[in-house]
Amino acid sequence: MTVRWAALDSRRRAVYKRGPLHTTPGLETVAMHTAQHLEPRPYLLHNRIQPYEWGGRGPGAFIPRLLGIEPEPGRPYAELWIGAHPSAPSQVELGGRLVPLPDAIARQPDDLLGPAVVARFGASLPFLLKVLSAARPLSIQVHPNGAQAECLHARDPEHYPDPNHKPEIAIALDGLSALAGLKPFAGIVEALERTPELAELAGPALARELVAGAGASPAEQQALVRRLFGALVACATAHEAALAAALQRLEQRLRSQARPLASDEALFLDLRAEYPDPDIGLLAIFLLNQVHLQAGQGLYIAAGVPHAYLGGNIVECMAASDNVVRAGLTPKF
């Protein structure tokens, strides 16, 4: 599905007169100020909506309300992409025709991007803007840095569709709940001490090292946390039955508690209903920070930071990448 969105040229404002539109793969007919330059005015973009399963549905879906369109019954409206990424490029109205934005930029980079951007990034839009609406939790994921993205794309372009890194910033439109970044070392140790099922899967020896690591240097503590994650992933991969049993015991123990549950314990029970199969992400909940943003507040996610958006509506700006390394709360690759 595509929707319209105005792209404003910063040099001046102008009224755009609409006419019949035709799709074209090229730029043979465009509104030109000269033979070499686009006329300086707003150009209308037609943008793609991504129907990921976790998106909002029905009359209350955020993206259709934002755009003033009628939602299709049962269709999820997860992300509105505004940009030139090849996975879902916008189209721009030029001379009564719809032209893929990457083609328009390739033909007229200085007019559409500006010489400074072209000099630094080449003839390609260096960012991707999204409106994201999460009615259900997204997977726990990590975005690669530049070197990692190049390696992943070369090795597996089907799952890693571009060679770009993906730092991103999210700004809440009406609130956002998320998991973002590892807890401080003391918080991870505290989670191990009150969650014996987590310590059991990590291994008693490593759990004791972590508990005894309060006085260790930051580098030593980081190494211990990396070992903890490695042990949990290895256990989940090689011993799925042990992971399933630990999750079952943890669920039963928490449901039988008379005391108020901690926020990560309550979140575990909520997400356990969504993910009844063995999933290492259900244990990662105890190791990640919970974040709650109000409208207008923002969250920056650097490459390598584990995170998951749990619910809410945001606008995201990121490097022009669609690379995702999933780490839990998902049946996907």
Q: Rounded distance, CA 205 to CA 222, Å? A: 17
DSSP 81-109: EES--TTS--EEEETTEEEEHHHHHHHSH
- Three-class SS of residue 179? strand
Contact 55, 74 (CB under 8 A): no
Residue 41 falls in the annotated catalytic set: no
For residue 329, which phi and psi values (nearest 5 degrees)? 60, 45
Place of tokens 């991103």: 168
User: Do 271 and 140 contact (CB within 8 A), yes or no?
Assistant: no
> Maximum Cα–Cα distance for the chain, whole Å?
76
- Give the contacts of 188 (CB within 8 A, at least 6 positions apart): 182, 210, 225, 228, 287
Pairing mode of beta strands 22-23, 97-100: parallel
The end-to-end CA distance of the chain, in Å, is: 25
Query: How many CB atoms are located within 10 Å of the residue 188 CB?
Result: 21
Of the candidates 322, 325, 302, 32, the residue with the CA atom closest to the CA atom of residue 180? 302
Q: Compute how many other C-beta atoms are within 10 angstroms of the C-beta atom of residue 316.
A: 17
Residue 320 has phi, psi (to 5 degrees) of -75, 75
Query: Dihedral of CA 197/203/205/208: which sign?
Result: negative
Q: Choose, from 41, 65, 75, 326, the residue flagged as catalytic.
A: 326
Active site residue ranges? 326
